[in-house]
Every structure is written in C-alpha cells, then in structure tokens.
Structure 1
C-alpha cells in the first residue's frame, strides 16, 4: 500500500522509521502545510508536497494518507486535516506495531498504535486514535475520535473518553469512569472521578525533600 505521512517534524521522522519497516506499507512521500515546506522539497530523501496542492503529486485514488500524528491544538489540528483529506477523496492508512496485542477490538481509521500496547476485546478506539508505546486500553472501553495517549497510560475496563482528549505519560483512568471531550490529563495523574468536557486534570506536584535520599537510605537500607 502506497502512503504519505502528514508532517516533516520529529514525530513524522519517527513514524517514517516505523512505516518503512512495515512490509505492508510503502512510504512514497510527505505532505505539510505550505508554511513548513522544506526548501529542498524533500524530507528523508522523499518528496514533500504542500498540503493545499498535495493531490497533484499524490493522487487520492492511488495513495493513502496517515496522520498528522500530532496533538497540536489538543488534537484539533489532526481532526481538521483528517476531514480535509476525506473531502479531497483520500483514504487512510493505520499503523499497528507488531509487538502490540489487539484482539477483538474495533480500531478507527487513521490510527497509530506503537510498541507493546494492549487493546483488549470489545474496546473501541475512534478515528485518529494515537497510542504511544506501552499503552493499555481495557475491555469494553470506549475511546472517542482523535485522542492521544502518551506512553504508559492505562485505561481500565468499561471507561469512556470523549473526542480530542490528551492523556500525558503514566496516567490512569479507573474502570467505569468517564473523561469528557477536549480534556487534558496531565502526566502522572490518576483519574478516580468523572471529568467534564474541557477540563484539565493534574495531580499534585512532586514533593522534594532535600537530602531525603541520604536519610531514606540510612533508615531503610542500613
């Protein structure tokens, strides 16, 4: 399958690395908003087309698109470009790393699942879902469209997440709870209550004890 990636930044570079190792995907180029077009017209040795003219170089009937793989604008940038691509007649690719385990779950189009993720049976991931490395989505969980889960997130069984919500690294959502649309869950936050639309949820900051490591070591480690 011939595909293009949206973007020419670091995340696009990472995704190009993964895609080029997938025998079922053939990366033929990139597209990006015209303001970010590289002067050389290339990225990673492949052609880059301005998004407003991408269909000339990369015809929608022959090439699929993946991305943008981004949480810019709390995922709204990705949502908007997805629907623009659909209006132009593009179909979408998805990427699932071979080390991840997805069984009996529904995965929306234009989604990315990186290394060692688990998506349990009867879970549903919406369009444009992004699971970075080592994310767990529990059974019967319902994830909205265009959500981004950073590494080491854990979403328990039968949980609900609305559209365009971002989960930072090492976050958790308890079973049977809901997080609304357009939310941001800060890194390291354990969500143990329902979160309304548009909310920011963050745990208390790290407590730092000067010389605490030395005292802890003397007391517990001898």
Structure 2
C-alpha cells in the first residue's frame, strides 16, 4: 500500500504518504488564501521525499470537510483527478475525524499526549461560527458535524476539552482548548489505514459544506440579453 492523503478543508494545506505501516513523508502549510497554489507542489515534494513516483500510489484519501467552499474543493478536485488518472480508489474522511485522531492518540499532528476521555473538535467556520462535533475518543464520533455559533453550543460542550482552531478562537465557550490547532494529513492517512485494514466503510469523496457558499447571485439579478 502507498496511500496519499490530502486535506484543504481548513487553512492548512496538508499532504502525507503512508505505506500501511507508517507515514513516509508529510508536509503542512497554513495559508487560507493559497490552497490551489500550494497543494500540487506539496504533493510533489512529499512523493519526492519518500522516493515514490505518482504511478506507485495505490490509494487516496481526502478530507471532505466541513470547510469553506473555496478551499475544500481544491483538495477534493485534486484527489479525484489523481484517482481518475491513476485508476485508484479515492476515499473521503471527515476533516474533524483527522483532528480527533491526532488529539486522541497523541499521534501525527498532535501537540502533546492523547486526550483521555470525551472531547470536542472545533474548526473555524468564519462568520463567528465553528464547525464542530463531539467525540468519545480518537476514533469514535458521537455527533454529526455541525456549524453553529459557539455561544449556542456552550451547554453541550461544557466540561469537555476541545481541540482545533475554532476552539482556540472562543475561550469563553471552550475554556480547555488544546492542540492540535490545524489538520494533519499524516493523522488522516493513519486513520484511513486503520479503517481500511478493519474493512470499515468510508463516506464518499464529496464535499461536506453544511451551509451555502459565501458567493451568491445577487437578489433581483437582471438578465440582459441583446436586442
């Protein structure tokens, strides 16, 4: 197995290559405005660091969000294009699940030892909102991903540690906020390898937006046609 993982659902443009036993190479850059510019060069560098040609990749996994429309579609489009060109399967994984895996195991992308017990993952959804979900542990999500204002979920998340950039932004709601702050494709790849080995089902490689894109057609839009 040579599994390539990519995720652009958060400000982190992150890529990793996993051989089924360990992460061979990984790279992450945090830049919310340059996903399209940064992703392909990062893929090239990760493959080169591992001494692997693109044709040797056997599996792909991509973070499906939730995340903002523009950034999220970069990773999905890239993964699906690679999968089609190489003739290999492309599996989706919830971006929040990758953060939870890193936080709960203390594995790739974590900033300390694993969290013991239930916790929250919250990423920045902009508009003073967070994308979030509750987890029993590193591998078990208790709720579907959602998007809400932090104050509106304060009672549901009270008393739980929280990880992710969204948690760090709103200390009133998440007083026990911890790292990792950003997504790690190394964690996403490690989780995917575990799930493949267990024969688990994966969500389709389709975007999990949770809300409409910021860019919309103005109301009362007037269509002008030539006379």
Structure-2-length-normalised TM-score: 0.32
> Which structure features the higher share of helix residues?
2
Structure-1-length-normalised TM-score: 0.32
Structure with bigger RCO (C-alpha 8 Å, 6+ apart): 2
Larger Rg: 1
